[in-house]
Amino acid sequence: MVKTYPTHIINYAGDIDENGIWGVWDNPEDLSFFADFSPNIFQQALAMTKGGFHIWPKSLNSESKEEMREEVKESKKLKEFYIQKI
């Protein structure tokens, strides 16, 4: 999915399951202007143009939140998706 905001565009890829909505995002900005800077600065800028997200489902109590966190840590599907995108 691609979302267009007033100042930028973000690409989203993810999935929904019993643990909520989760996935990765990236900002396809042109970073060529960083070519004149040090490689370290370029890598830092590049790292700020992608990441992951997780939107938790509503829960009735805090115990279920802890249980869901444990389930997410164990989610094979999440690991497969994240490894593919990296």
- Domain spans of the chain, in order of start: 2-85
Q: What pLDDT score does 66 carry?
A: 66
Q: What are the angstrom distances between the C-alpha of 76 and each of 27, 29, 66, 81, 84?
A: 26, 31, 18, 9, 12
For the chain, list residues with pLDDT below 70: 59-86
Q: What pLDDT score does 2 carry?
A: 94
pTM for this entry? 0.58
Cβ atoms of 52 and 81 closer than 8 Å: no
Q: What are the angstrom distances between the C-alpha of 46 and each of 24, 42, 60?
A: 15, 6, 39
Cβ atoms of 2 and 13 closer than 8 Å: no
Q: What pLDDT score does 4 carry?
A: 94
Q: What pLDDT score does 29 carry?
A: 85
Q: What pLDDT score does 27 carry?
A: 92
Q: What pLDDT score does 47 carry?
A: 86
